[in-house]
Copies of this chain bind each other. A is one copy, B any other.
Amino acid sequence: MVVKRRNRLLSIESICDAALVCIDESGRLTMAELAARLGASPSSVYHHLPGRGAIIEALRERVGATIDSPAVDDPDWMGAISGWMRAYRQAMAAHPNLIPLLIAQPMTSEAGLRSYDRVAGLLAGAGVADADIVPWITALDSFALGSALDLTAPDQPWVVADRADLPALGAAVTAGPAGRRRADTAFELGLAALLAGMSGSAAG
């Protein structure tokens, strides 16, 4: 959807709308393509947001707005982290092409930082050692983002029909869930394992 009208009034909102369409459609964001889509010059885009990084950070804020930050005083820290992880995966699954762009730059989004501050506070409260908190948050992040990308996988990721030479994979595919249930079961199994690992690390 290219906006045809030239010199239309730009806003942070309209720039973010167009940038997200660029990324969803093409998997990338260039200022030239964004400006063309907006029917504006790159310099008029820069007037509102000082560059590509700022636009991606604004998209982090927008996509993250659907994720409730965990309550830092939640006595059920595992439940709080689980809820955050489920919402995080779901939000990112709606814009999988945005994932590599978010990973590649430092987080400055205020809502994002506050959310991670709460996750860090929950892990500290659970007894995870300070030095282990960033690695555990990173592991959670990698799993949530990998699982969000997995939601773009085909219903059956492995083509094994009539393949007697792949007996173990064939049996597993036949016995296991497919489609969305495959993805959801995997996410819950992995999440439970990571939580158990964090809990063990806290107790150790």
Given A141-B150, A158-B106, A189 contacting B197 (CB threshold 8 A): yes
B145-A182 in contact (CB<8A): no
Which of the four size classes fits the interface of chain A?
Answer: 35 or more
B186 touches A197 (CB 8 A): no
- Copy number in the complex reads 2
Q: Which of B158, B189, B196 contacts A132 (CB 8 A)?
A: B189
Contact: B134 with A177, CB < 8 Å? yes
Q: Once the chains bind, are B130 and A175 in contact (CB under 8 Å)?
A: yes
Does more than half of chain A's interface fall in helix, strand or loop, or is it mixed?
A: helix
Contact A189 B103 (CB under 8 A): no
Q: Which of B100, B105, B166 makes the CB contact (< 8 A) with A97?
A: B100
Contact status B97-A158, CB under 8 Å? no
Does A137 make an interface contact (CB < 8 A)?
yes
* A3 interface residue (CB < 8 Å to B): no
Chain B residues closer than 8 Å to A169, beta-carbon distance: 113, 116-117, 120
